[in-house]
């Protein structure tokens, strides 16, 4: 049902950076859509210290054929020294969504709704 569909999750320090990186990944044809979720509070342990910060989460929709390149590029563009990039396979998605994401392997795709440019 959802062959090749993948999601990637990554937090950012600011909405401006999240938008900039998401825009670059869209322009480079590595993601089909980026959902930016502002106002997130992160509680974490990093390098032995407990911390808390406000971050912006981004959920990227991508395809398995470009996911590794996308994650590598995301790490290059990100301001964090070691950004938390999580990738996971989608086991169930409508065929239309799977087809839309499969377009990443063939070249750029359009719009978060899967429709092409008008």
Q: What are phi and psi of 23, to 5 degrees?
A: -60, -40
Listing DSSP states for 32-80 in one string gives SEEEEEEEEEEEEEETTEEEEEEEEEEEEEEEHHHHHHHHHHHHHH-SS
Query: Which of 12-16, 50-54, 74-78, 92-96 is least confident?
Result: 92-96
Q: Are 4 and 98 in contact (CB under 8 A)?
A: yes
CA distances for 105 relative to 14, 19, 69, 111, angstroms: 30, 23, 11, 16
Pairing of strands 86-89, 49-63: unpaired
pLDDT at 3 over 80: no
Instruction: Tell me the domain boundaries of the chain.
Output: 5-106
Fold (topology level) of 5-106: Alpha-Beta Plaits (3.30.70)
Q: pTM for the whole thing?
A: 0.85
């Amino acid at each position: 049902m959802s062959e090749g569909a993948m999601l990637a999750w990554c937090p950012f320090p600011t909405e401006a950076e999240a938008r900039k990186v998401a825009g670059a990944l869209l322009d480079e044809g590595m993601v089909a859509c980026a959902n930016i979720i502002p106002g997130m509070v992160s509680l974490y342990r990093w390098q032995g210290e407990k911390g808390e910060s406000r971050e912006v989460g981004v959920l990227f929709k991508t395809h398995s054929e470009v996911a590794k390149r996308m994650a590598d590029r995301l790490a290059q563009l990100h301001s964090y020294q070691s950004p938390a990039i999580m990738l996971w396979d989608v086991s169930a998605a409508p065929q239309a969504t799977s087809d839309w994401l499969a377009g990443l392997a063939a070249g750029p795709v359009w719009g978060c709704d899967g429709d092409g440019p008008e």
